[in-house]
Amino acid sequence: METFAQYAFRAVMYAIMGMALEVIGAVDGIDRILGFHLERRVPKKYLEGFVSLYMIPLHGFGMLFGFEAVRDLTGDWFIGFRYLVWCVVFTLAEAAWGFLLDRTVGFYTWDYYRNSRFKVFKRGYTLWTLVPVWGVVGLFLEVYSDLLRHLSPYAAAFFASM
């Protein structure tokens, strides 16, 4: 039986990884995915990344309760099928989170998508060009998730002994 500390450890580590991946994507890949040059506050040579704190619940709890559940179901499937599952799951999660943020706080943090010719939905909650990227991200996160699940009992025991 897993403890609260194990869940908390994984949620925090998922949030940190999600935020790091967003910053990396914002530094280099976003212009190619959007299909246009994104206006930046500082020159690209400074490698400025951007991320919103509104993404922490999606990265932390979405991964903990959504990703891990899907991972449990698809764990032994052929890699090509898992890739397709992650393409769909991450695309739907991004679109749903964007819609939810838009309806509750009046915007979503990647609203620059709406200017892309690759947008999905009128408001651009996600992009068609991201679909294959999400599959690769999902396969990478399978390994990360397996690692965190392995480490979480040790992390919980470490923090309990403090």
Output the pLDDT for position 72. 97
Output the pLDDT for position 14. 98
Mean pLDDT by 10 residues, the chain (162 residues): 96 97 86 84 85 95 97 96 98 96 94 90 93 97 98 96 89
Give me the residue label for tokens 């999902």. Answer: 138
**Count of domains for the chain:** 1
Domain that holds residue 69: 4-160
CA angle 140, 56, 26 (to 5 degrees): 60
Which residues are within 8 A (CB) of 64 and not within 5 positions of it... i.e. 6 or more apart? Answer: 7, 10, 11, 14
- This prediction has a pTM of 0.92
Output the pLDDT for position 43. 85
Residue type, 95: A
